[in-house]
């Protein structure tokens, strides 16, 4: 405990963020559930769910910042881990529908009945239990990251090449999940969820719970990443980012360090996806699209890399801007978003956070 306190003492913005998240996890559900509709402090469910979504993206952005900002691995395929976590959760939610589907089949999800399948594919077994799905949310993305990373890091694929093969990875998964034969609902994906652990997803209380859970997960994820970056492992990571070959000559097993941190980051992304799906109510293959993964990287860049809290700020900023621009200027929002990316990379190499930090130093 004292260890954490000491680390947070050096990371004041981080500590502030954690306090804010903890407060939000209590206050926001309160404002939504306990205060009546007419109350000026009442928070509509819609905005609460929207913010819950932002927090999931923030967790994803933190996981990307861990490997990009501290380890120097630019993953253009982190959306794949996010989506895999989401699919694992989606499969659980699908199984929960049971006989309430359109076709009323107690075991098979609607799309399988539609495709005239007679029995559940083997990889759908076990997802009727929440604990199993929760395990898979972490296990599937980590396993993929582990296998992929083991190959890539051992053969010393670095820099731009690594970025491009991560992009190829998510692109391949995108194409694969679009296929009906894969057994994940084809291009419609998984949707029509009814309830989670017996709580209806339409209920405000369930939504509030999911929001609180997202906030807590982000806090926990942030803390875990901060613990890593503040440890000796974190120092090794930074060293790899700046001088990989030197660290290798000194005797560190660079590929192992990379592999474990990469796998951890993928697991975090999976958790973010699993929290995202019940709030949005759908998961489909477009989550795998390379553009999504690039957008996540952009969030980190906008917030400021190698600071973790910057990633959180970036995710919330970019997504809020996106929500606002798509409504306010539906035709021009891509102009705004594109201009934001160019502007940030040209003028704010350390993101919004860097700007604030610089101002702080000057004064």
Q: How far is the CB of 197 from other proteins (least distance, A)?
A: 35
List Cβ neighbours of 177 (8 Å cut-off, separation of 6 or more). Answer: 83, 87, 184, 186, 189, 285, 288
Query: CB neighbours (10 Å) of residue 362?
Result: 6
Task: Return d(Cα 304, Cα 161) in angstroms, integer.
Answer: 23
Question: Which of 21/237 has CB closer to other proteins?
Answer: 237
Q: How far is the CB of 291 from other proteins (least distance, A)?
A: 7
Contact between 191 and 281 under an 8 Å Cβ cutoff? The reply is yes
Q: How far is the CB of 287 from other proteins (least distance, A)?
A: 16
Question: Which of 20/165 has CB closer to other proteins?
Answer: 165
Question: Which of 161/324 has CB closer to other proteins?
Answer: 161
Q: How far is the CB of 81 from other proteins (least distance, A)?
A: 16
Whole-number Cα distances in Å, 267 to 139, 144, 332: 7, 10, 35
Q: How far is the CB of 172 from other proteins (least distance, A)?
A: 4
Q: Please give the residue ranges that form the binding site for other proteins (CB under 8 A).
A: 74, 148, 151-152, 154-157, 159-161, 163-165, 167-169, 171-172, 175-176, 178-179, 290-291, 294, 297-298, 301, 331-332, 334-335, 337-342, 344-346, 349
For the chain, how are helix, strand and coil distributed in percent, rounded to 5? Answer: 75, 0, 20
**Region class of 251: left (phi > 0), else alpha (psi between -120 and 50), else beta:** left
Q: How far is the CB of 188 from other proteins (least distance, A)?
A: 16
Task: Return d(Cα 30, Cα 335) in angstroms, integer.
Answer: 38
List Cβ neighbours of 168 (8 Å cut-off, separation of 6 or more). Answer: 77
Q: How far is the CB of 49 from other proteins (least distance, A)?
A: 26
Q: How far is the CB of 158 from other proteins (least distance, A)?
A: 8
Whole-number Cα distances in Å, 110 to 64, 91, 94, 283: 35, 12, 9, 15
Q: How far is the CB of 351 from other proteins (least distance, A)?
A: 11
Question: Which of 91/296 has CB closer to other proteins?
Answer: 296
Question: Which of 43/294 has CB closer to other proteins?
Answer: 294
Task: Return d(Cα 335, Cα 85) in angstroms, integer.
Answer: 31
List Cβ neighbours of 65 (8 Å cut-off, separation of 6 or more). Answer: 225, 300, 303, 305, 306, 307, 308, 310, 311
Question: Which of 152/271 has CB closer to other proteins?
Answer: 152
Question: Which of 117/178 has CB closer to other proteins?
Answer: 178
Task: Return d(Cα 109, Cα 259) in angstroms, integer.
Answer: 36
Question: Which of 22/157 has CB closer to other proteins?
Answer: 157
Contact between 75 and 163 under an 8 Å Cβ cutoff? The reply is yes
**Region class of 185: left (phi > 0), else alpha (psi between -120 and 50), else beta:** left
Question: Which of 44/349 has CB closer to other proteins?
Answer: 349
Question: Which of 12/179 has CB closer to other proteins?
Answer: 179
First-to-last C-alpha distance (Å) of the chain: 34
Torsion of CA 100, 102, 104, 108, to 10 degrees: -100
Q: How far is the CB of 340 from other proteins (least distance, A)?
A: 7
Least Cα distance to 268 among 12, 45, 85 occurs for: 85
């Amino acid at each position: 405990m004292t260890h954490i306190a000491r680390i947070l003492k050096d990371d004041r913005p981080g500590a502030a963020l954690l306090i804010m998240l903890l407060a939000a996890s209590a206050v926001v559900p309160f404002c939504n559930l306990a205060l009546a509709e007419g109350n000026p402090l009442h928070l509509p469910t819609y905005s609460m769910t929207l913010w819950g979504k932002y927090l999931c993206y923030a967790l994803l952005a933190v996981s990307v910042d861990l490997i990009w900002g501290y380890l120097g691995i630019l993953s253009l395929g982190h959306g794949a881990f996010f989506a895999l976590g989401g699919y694992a959760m989606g499969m659980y939610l699908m199984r929960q529908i049971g006989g309430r589907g359109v076709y009323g089949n107690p075991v098979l999800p609607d799309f399988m009945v539609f495709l005239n399948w007679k029995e559940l594919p083997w990889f759908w077994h076990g997802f009727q239990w929440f604990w199993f799905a929760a395990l898979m949310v972490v296990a599937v993305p980590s396993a993929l990251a582990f296998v992929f990373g083991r190959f890539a890091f051992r053969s010393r694929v670095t820099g731009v090449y690594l970025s491009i093969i991560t992009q190829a990875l998510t692109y391949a998964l995108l194409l694969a999940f679009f296929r009906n034969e894969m057994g994940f609902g084809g291009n419609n994906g998984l949707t029509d969820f009814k309830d989670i652990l017996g709580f209806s997803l339409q209920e405000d209380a369930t939504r509030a719970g999911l929001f609180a859970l997202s906030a807590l997960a982000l806090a926990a994820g942030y803390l875990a990443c901060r613990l890593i970056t503040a440890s000796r492992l974190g120092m090794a990571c930074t060293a790899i980012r700046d001088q990989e070959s030197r660290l290798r000559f000194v005797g560190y097993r660079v590929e192992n360090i990379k592999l474990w941190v990469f796998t951890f980051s993928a697991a975090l992304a999976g958790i973010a996806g699993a929290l995202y799906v019940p709030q949005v109510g759908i998961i489909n293959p477009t989550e795998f699209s390379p553009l999504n993964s690039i957008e996540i990287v952009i969030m980190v860049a906008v917030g400021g890399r190698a600071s973790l809290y910057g990633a959180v700020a970036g995710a919330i900023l970019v997504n809020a801007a996106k929500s606002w621009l798509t409504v306010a200027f539906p035709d021009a929002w891509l102009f705004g978003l594109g201009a934001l990316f160019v502007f940030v990379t040209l003028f704010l190499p350390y993101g919004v956070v860097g700007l604030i930090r610089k101002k702080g130093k000057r004064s």
